[in-house]
Amino acid sequence: MTHATAQPLYDTYNRAALRFERGEGVWLITDQGDRYLDFAAGIAVNSLGHAHPHLVNALKTQADKLWHVSNVYEIPDQDRLGQRLVDNTFADKVFFTNSGAEALECAIKTARRYHYVNGHPERYRIITFEGAFHGRTLATIAAGGQAKYLEGFGPKVEGFDQVPFGDEKALKAAITPETAAILIEPVQGEGGLRPVPEESLRALRKICDDNGLLLILDEVQCGVGRTGKFFAHEWAGVTPDIVAVAKGIGGGFPMGACLATAEAAKGMTAGVHGTTYGGNPLAMAVGNAVLDVVLADGFLDHVRQIALHFKQGLASIVDRYPDVVSEVRGRGLLIGLKCVVPNTALIQALRDEHLLSVGAGDNVLRLLPPLIVTEDEAREGLARIETACERLSVANKQKSA
């Protein structure tokens, strides 16, 4: 039997031939004992790095007491985490999920129910943007609108209208009496690290207010401290109606949340939505532990400070290797390097330097260090990125010579 026919897993991933056995902070260690600087962080998930003592302790302590009871009963740590999210954000209400896509599903359902209980069941359509990524469920691939994710899965879920990113005229033209909401990532992650300009986000808020629409933000990747504020939308000073969260809030434990104002959530009454696992005691123990760290005095200052130095270093690399990389993008520690070479070539060259990164759309390389990264570790990362760029640049020159 060949390896290809013997392997039991769906062939949905092209996996790198690396097997990690353990992690320590920003480092991942393979089963061969090789150490890699992890600037992918499980795709913006390991916000506090690997094996953070406070998270390990929270999970172990909870594991000894109680794992799961279902949402039939009260879960005190769910109330506590919900209250902390309410106290520290725009939100009045929270629904816990297991993933980002489920947080988005809840956000979409919340927006539709809002109009339904307002006597407008016809208002169910949601405007989204080209290059968006909202997850892989049937509704969220329809929301993301990317052909490569929709192909072969039957009719696209109804009710999503996509407009070009940054095209306010097209957006206004897309609003109809059936429109319920606008859904956008404050910083496009998968799409290539494109931040929505602050004035555009404020303009979206106004368009929503003028047309009775809800503003839904997908902060699954950019939320929970990643940009140097708890939520990326805080930079623009806008107040959303609904926000989807996941990734960083669990620090590696699968969890997500949908946050909403009391008004936006008013249609989500007993029995209309549910989840078996969402908000279970294990997830809540870890989520509360993540907030202990992220909300501590000075933590977000640290993220902003490191991000500034790291980006300055990257800008100098862009200056010196313009045949390899052309631009630094993103916000805080949600960083993109626009590549001149194929981004896959740079990802491989970085992996050869034992630094892990992730690709994104628009030929961008994503750098998502854990938020606990120190100045020294960031410098070490920059040195490795510099070496990789230098090697690719030398190879470029040899090719053209």
**Residue carrying structure tokens 């404050």:** 186
- The residue nearest ligand PLP at its CB is 100
Amino acid of residue 272: V
What single DSSP character describes residue 89?
Answer: S
Instruction: Determine, following the binding rule CB under 6 A, whether residue 105 of this chain makes contact with ligand PLP.
Output: no
To the nearest whole angstrom, how small is the minimum distance from the Cβ of residue 328 to ligand PLP? 20
Pick between residue 190 and residue 377 the one whose CB is nearest to ligand PLP.
190
Among 23, 49, 135, 251, binds ligand PLP (CB under 6 A): 135
Which among 20-28, 46-54, 95-103, 318-326 is the span making contact with ligand PLP, rule CB under 6 A?
95-103
> Residue 29 phi/psi, 5° resolution?
-120, 125
Q: What is the Cα–Cα distance from 372 to 69, expressed in whole angstroms?
A: 33
Question: In this structure, are residues 102 and 254 in contact, taking their beta carbons and an 8 Å threshold?
Answer: no
Residue 380 C-beta: closest distance to ligand PLP, Å? 26
By CB under 6 A, is residue 310 in contact with ligand PLP? no
The DSSP letter of residue 251 is: B
Residue 185 binds ligand PLP (CB under 6 A)? yes
Q: Which of residues 31-90 bind ligand PLP (CB under 6 A)?
A: none
Sole binder of ligand PLP in the list 100, 186, 287, 313 (CB under 6 A): 100
- Binding site for N(2)-acetyl-L-ornithine, by residue number, is 136, 275
Whether the CB-CB separation of 214 and 124 falls below 8 Å is answered with: no
Tokens of 292: 């202990």
Residues numbered 115-134 forming contacts with ligand PLP, rule: CB under 6 A: 133-134
Contact (Cβ atoms closer than 8 angstroms) between residue 150 and residue 160: no
Rule CB under 6 A: say whether 189 interacts with ligand PLP: yes
Compute the distance between CA of residue 300 and CA of residue 202 in angstroms, rounded to an integer.
23
- Is 194 a binding residue for ligand PLP by CB under 6 A? The answer is no
In SS3 terms, 15-56 reads as CCCCCEEEEEECEEEECCCCEEEECCHHHHCCCCCECCHHHH
Contact segment (CB under 6 A) with ligand PLP among 215-223, 283-291, 365-373, 378-386 equals 215-223
Q: Which region, left, alpha or beta, applies to residue 229 given φ > 0 means left and ψ of -120 to 50 means alpha?
A: beta
Among 48, 236, 246, 294, binds ligand PLP (CB under 6 A): 246
Q: Which residues bind ligand PLP (CB under 6 A)?
A: 99-101, 104, 133-135, 185, 189-190, 218, 220-221, 246-247
